[in-house]
Amino acid sequence: MKNSLHVTELSLYDIANVAGVAADLNHIETHPKVIGYTGQENLSTALVGAKVVLIAAGVSRRPGMSRDDLFDKNAPIVADLVRACGKSCPEAMICLITNPINSTVPIAAEILKKEEAYNPKRLFGITTLDIIRTNTFIAQAKDLDVSKVSCPVVGGHSGSTIVPIFSQCNPAVALPRRVLEELVARIQNAGTDVVNLKAGEGSSTLAMAYAGARFANSLLHAMKSRAEIVECAFVESEVAETDFFASPVLLGPNGVEKVFGTGNVNKYETELLKNAIPELKKNIQRGKDFAATY
């Protein structure tokens, strides 16, 4: 975000000391000013006046770690940070990176409702990592220029809830069912593959940083210029039989300007969506149940 043309001030917050990181970033010859804030007592100061908040705090996956383990550790972290946003920057766009997204976004929504600060147009679960992986894997399979490949990914942000819509890929790609199934498995398990290859040293960080910055820059650009920018995101939605759903979203000054549906999908993609919905519903409800008593 220090490289962004749309940022004037960048506030870093952590429970660990970030003064050194802020100083290091300030040596980069780009416009944004960086300020580091450490500790719970400085959280409100870090948030006041923020237009966009990116939340990436929490525990990352380790080999053998279940989604339940991740939820138990990250749910209270997200709830506390979002509550602080509701108090200190209630008009900010809140963009969640912390997993499990399928549950942390509903948690954020319920906590913001308690603070009387919930605006569904201003809450996003960033699923851009699924998009860039899908584009990359399609380009590799078809020997295409990856910078010219764009394929929507809908549903959620974990396992079987990640549904790439190959039939809407630009440029159009023709792939046999066997290859499609291999690509789906690779996309849905890409995060686990990285976790296992890092052998206990964390999860996807570099690709996630790129994906998070891409989404944030798209949002900031749309907020400032009213350009018609579309990105996939996990938002409150009526697209499917769930309260939240990832699909292409038109971004603008108000955040979510329009939520697009899944569009025309083929038989195989319909099967994937049908399989995704029960798991997605369960993930969303778990987040709501947690927030109700937190």
Rounded to whole angstroms, the maximal C-alpha distance in the chain is 56
Place of tokens 């960080």: 205
65 in a known ligand binding site: no
Residue 170 corresponds to which amino acid?
Answer: N
- Dihedral sign of CA atoms 85, 57, 260, 226 in order: positive
User: In the Cβ-directed half-sphere of 88, how many Cα atoms lie within 13 Å?
Assistant: 19
98 in a known ligand binding site: yes
Catalytic choice (6, 27, 31, 157)? 157
Instruction: Say how far apart CA 70 and CA 192 lie, in whole Å.
Output: 13
Q: Judge contact between 123 and 209, C-beta under 8 A.
A: no
Residue 270: Cβ within 10 Å count: 12
28 in a known ligand binding site: no
208 in a known ligand binding site: yes
97 in a known ligand binding site: yes
Residue 191, token pair as written in the block:
């995060």
Burial of 269 (C-beta count, 10 Å sphere; 0-12/13-18/19+) = buried
Q: Name the strand (E) or helix (H) holding 224.
A: helix 206-225
Question: CB neighbours of 119 closer than 8 A, spacing ≥ 6?
Answer: 91, 112, 255
User: In the Cβ-directed half-sphere of 137, how many Cα atoms lie within 13 Å?
Assistant: 23
| β-bridge mates for residue 37, sequence order | 13
Active-site residue flag, 157: yes
**Residue of 285, 287, 278 whose CA lies nearest to 155:** 278
Binding-site annotation: residue ranges for NAD(+) = 14, 74, 97-99, 208
Binding-site annotation: residue ranges for substrate = 61, 67, 99, 133
Binding-site annotation: residue ranges = 14, 61, 67, 74, 97-99, 133, 208
What amino acid positions are annotated as catalytic residues?
Answer: 157
